[in-house]
C-alpha cells in the first residue's frame, strides 16, 4: 500500500524589526485607525539586509525539523514557495538545502503567490504518496517589504516579511492511521492575473517590480473561492463543518477570516489569527499561523485542521490535515 503523508512538525521565523501602523503613518499617508478597521493589522515585521528569503526559510525549516524530531538526513526534498526569491537561480530552496547540510535528494522554488504553501503541501503529499520522496520540507518564505510600492498606500500597509515551514514524512507502522494529510485541492484562474501581480521581474531590464493589487476585486474573489474550496475539501472526505477543529486561513484581512469562520460555524477561538501582528506574509502566512498555534498548545495532535489560501494568479486551494 502507498504511504500517506504525516505533517510531523512546524516552525516559523519572523524578522526582528517590528513596524507598527503608527510608525508607517509617519511616512505613508495613512492611519492606525484606517489600517485596523479595514484589515485588522496592527503591526508587521520587516526583514533587515541579512534576513533574506533563504535565511528566514532556513530558520523556519530548522524549527520544523526539530519539532518533528527529524534531522537533515531525513530530508529528501525541499519545496520553497516564494514570490520573492533571493536570486533568479539557483532556487532559494537549494540555498536552504546547503545551509541545512542536506546532501541528497532535490529541491525547487514554487511560484503561486499567497497560495504557494498550499500548492507546496499538495506537491509534497503527491510525492510521498507516489513513493518519490519520504521526507519533504515545505517552506513559505517572503520579503514583500522589498517589492512594495511605498507610493501606493492601498497596498504598502498590508504586507509583512517572514517564513514558515512544515516537515512532511511518509507514515510508518506506528502512526495512528487517522493521522495525516487527508486531502489537498489546488486551483488557478490565469484570466484573473491582472487583479494582483508584480509589474516586473529579474528578466525585465530596469524593472525589478512592485506589487499591484485591485483590492476590492481580490476581496470579492477571496470570499467566494475560499468558501468553495472549503466545501470541496469537506465533500471529498465525507465530512461536515462540525468535524473541523481548527481553521488556519491565509492571513490577508481580518474581515475575510471572520467571514470564513462564520460560514463554517466555528467560534472565533477556533480560528487562528496572526494578521494583527504579522500582516500578510503571503506564502509564509499559513505555515507561520500553524506553527504559532502548535507551539502555544492550541492545536493538539489528533485535531482536524483546515488550511486555505488565495493569492495572485489567481491561485487558491485548501488542505485538510489531521495532526
Q: Which of 69, 79, 63 is nearest to 8 (CA)?
A: 69
Instruction: Name the CA dihedral angle for 145, 195, 185, 278, rounded to a multiple of 10 degrees.
Output: 30
Q: Is 38 in the site for ligand UT7 (CB under 6 A)?
A: yes
Among 75-83, 92-100, 169-177, 252-260, the segment contacting ligand UT7 (CB under 6 A): 252-260
In the set 156, 250, 253, 278, the catalytic residue is 250
Roughly what angle, to the nearest 10 degrees, separates helices 32-39 and 254-264?
20
E strand residue ranges, the chain:
5-13, 17-20, 43-46, 77-81, 106-110, 135-143, 161-170, 180-188, 196-198, 211-213, 246-249, 304-311, 315-322
The pattern of x and - marking residues 115 through 154 that bind ligand UT7 according to CB under 6 A reads --------------------------------------xx
250 is catalytic: yes
156 is catalytic: no
Q: Is 222 helix (H, G, I), strand (E, B) or coil?
A: helix
Q: Is 233 in the site for ligand UT7 (CB under 6 A)?
A: no
Question: Nearest to ligand UT7 by Cβ — which residue?
Answer: 215
Q: Is 114 in the site for ligand UT7 (CB under 6 A)?
A: yes
Q: Which of residues 258-287 bind ligand UT7 (CB under 6 A)?
A: 280
10 is catalytic: no
Q: Is 200 in the site for ligand UT7 (CB under 6 A)?
A: no
Alpha-carbon dihedral sign for residues 260, 263, 269, 271: negative
Per-residue DSSP letter, 280: B
Among 72-80, 97-105, 214-222, 286-294, the segment contacting ligand UT7 (CB under 6 A): 214-222
Q: Is 250 helix (H, G, I), strand (E, B) or coil?
A: coil
Binding residue (CB under 6 A) for ligand UT7 from 70, 90, 219, 239: 219
Binding interface with ligand UT7 (CB under 6 A): 30, 34, 38-39, 114, 153-154, 157-158, 215-216, 218-219, 222, 252-253, 256, 280, 310-311
Q: Which residues are catalytic?
A: 114, 250, 280
Amino acid at each position: 500500500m502507498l504511504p500517506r503523508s504525516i505533517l510531523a512538525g512546524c516552525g516559523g521565523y519572523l524578522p526582528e524589526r517590528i513596524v507598527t501602523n503608527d510608525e508607517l503613518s509617519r511616512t505613508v499617508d495613512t492611519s492606525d485607525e484606517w489600517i485596523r478597521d479595514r484589515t485588522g493589522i496592527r503591526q508587521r515585521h520587516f526583514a533587515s539586509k541579512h534576513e533574506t528569503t533563504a535565511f528566514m526559510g532556513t530558520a523556519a525549516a530548522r524549527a520544523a525539523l526539530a519539532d518533528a524530531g527529524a534531522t537533515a538526513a531525513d530530508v529528501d526534498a525541499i519545496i520553497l514557495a516564494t514570490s520573492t526569491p533571493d536570486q533568479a537561480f539557483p532556487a532559494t530552496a537549494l540555498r536552504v538545502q546547503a545551509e541545512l547540510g542536506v546532501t541528497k535528494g532535490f529541491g525547487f522554488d514554487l511560484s503561486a503567490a499567497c497560495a504557494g504553501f498550499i500548492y507546496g503541501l499538495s506537491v509534497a503529499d503527491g510525492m510521498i504518496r507516489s513513493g518519490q520522496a519520504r521526507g519533504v520540507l515545505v517552506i513559505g518564505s517572503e520579503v514583500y517589504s522589498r517589492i512594495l510600492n511605498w507610493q501606493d498606500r492601498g497596498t504598502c500597509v498590508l504586507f509583512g516579511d517572514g517564513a514558515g515551514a512544515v516537515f512532511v514524512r511518509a507514515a510508518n507502522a506506528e502512526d495512528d492511521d487517522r493521522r495525516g494529510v487527508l486531502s489537498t485541492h489546488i486551483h488557478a484562474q490565469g484570466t484573473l492575473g491582472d487583479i494582483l501581480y508584480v509589474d516586473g521581474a529579474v528578466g525585465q531590464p530596469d524593472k525589478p517590480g512592485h506589487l499591484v493589487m485591485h483590492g476590492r476585486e481580490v476581496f470579492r474573489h477571496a470570499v467566494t473561492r475560499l468558501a468553495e474550496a472549503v466545501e470541496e475539501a469537506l465533500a471529498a472526505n465525507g465530512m461536515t463543518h462540525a468535524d473541523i477543529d481548527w481553521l488556519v486561513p491565509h492571513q490577508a484581512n481580518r474581515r475575510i477570516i471572520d467571514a470564513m469562520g462564520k460560514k463554517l460555524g466555528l467560534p472565533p477561538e477556533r480560528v487562528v489569527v496572526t494578521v494583527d501582528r504579522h500582516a500578510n506574509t503571503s506564502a509564509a502566512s499559513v505555515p507561520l499561523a500553524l506553527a504559532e498555534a502548535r507551539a502555544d498548545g492550541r492545536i493538539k495532535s489528533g485535531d482536524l485542521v483546515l488550511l486555505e489560501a488565495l493569492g495572485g494568479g489567481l491561485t487558491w486551494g485548501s488542505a485538510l490535515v489531521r495532526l
